[in-house]
Amino acid sequence: MNKIVDRFNKLLNVSLLFVILDVVLGIILLKYTEASFKVIMVLLGCFILVNGLFSLIRYFYDGLANKVFKPDLVNGIAGVIFGLYSMFSPHNTLKAIGVIFALWILVIGIVKCYYTYRLMKTDDEIYPLLAFIALLDIVMGIVTLINPFKSFMIISKAVAIFIICYSLVEGVYLSLIKKRSHYILKMFE
């Protein structure tokens, strides 16, 4: 039983350590949002570059492979280009991601407008609410499109606040579990 208690306590302590690391990560992301995402984009660029190089190696490695792995040539070239671009221009890559995000929201808003119009033609009573939501999506897409990088940073700060809050709640949960551990461990006797 002592072995189980020791393992249980070690797991709780490691979990609490991860909670502390998550809070620190959230604070760093909140305070240094732009620098954090530039580092993330460089690391993502390295990852994409390595995958692109692997695809190219797999394509050129064997004569049979280029018959089986034909898409690897396109995937490899695209991976190398996008990986290098992300590594050497993380700010512009974040802007591009912001533009794609803004266009995605805009398209969703336009699709919602279409469905709202269809419901309006059938005199459905919910169409004014759907029209309002569609309009909000379109406005949010346009605002994000005007300054995608700043919008992306605001969303990132919200995510950082969520990480901090979640980690603190998780820490309270683990602390309560640790205080009640003798009751929990009795279940395994």
Mind listing the pLDDT tens digit for each residue in 37-90?
A: 888 889 889 999 999 898 888 777 766 555 655 777 888 899 999 999 999 998
Q: What is the mean pLDDT of the chain?
A: 84
pLDDT at 126 over 60: yes
Question: Which stretch of 7-21, 51-65, 123-137 has the lowest confidence by average pLDDT?
Answer: 51-65
Q: What is the pLDDT of residue 108?
A: 92
Q: What is the pLDDT of residue 106?
A: 92
CB 22 within 8 A of CB 61: no
Banded pLDDT at 1 (limits 50, 70, 90): low
Number of residues that this document lists for the chain: 189
97-107, pLDDT tens digit by residue?
Answer: 888 888 999 99
Banded pLDDT at 96 (limits 50, 70, 90): confident
Banded pLDDT at 7 (limits 50, 70, 90): confident
Cα dihedral sign for 145, 151, 152, 155?
negative
pLDDT at 156 over 70: yes
pLDDT at 138 over 80: yes
Q: Please state, in angstroms and as integers, the Cα–Cα distance from residue 155 to each residue in 63, 144, 150, 170, following that order.
A: 47, 11, 9, 22
Mean pLDDT of 151-169: 87
- Does 7 or 42 have the greater pLDDT score? 42
CB 164 within 8 A of CB 30: yes
pLDDT at 91 over 80: yes
- Does 103 or 177 have the greater pLDDT score? 103
Q: What is the pLDDT of residue 50?
A: 93
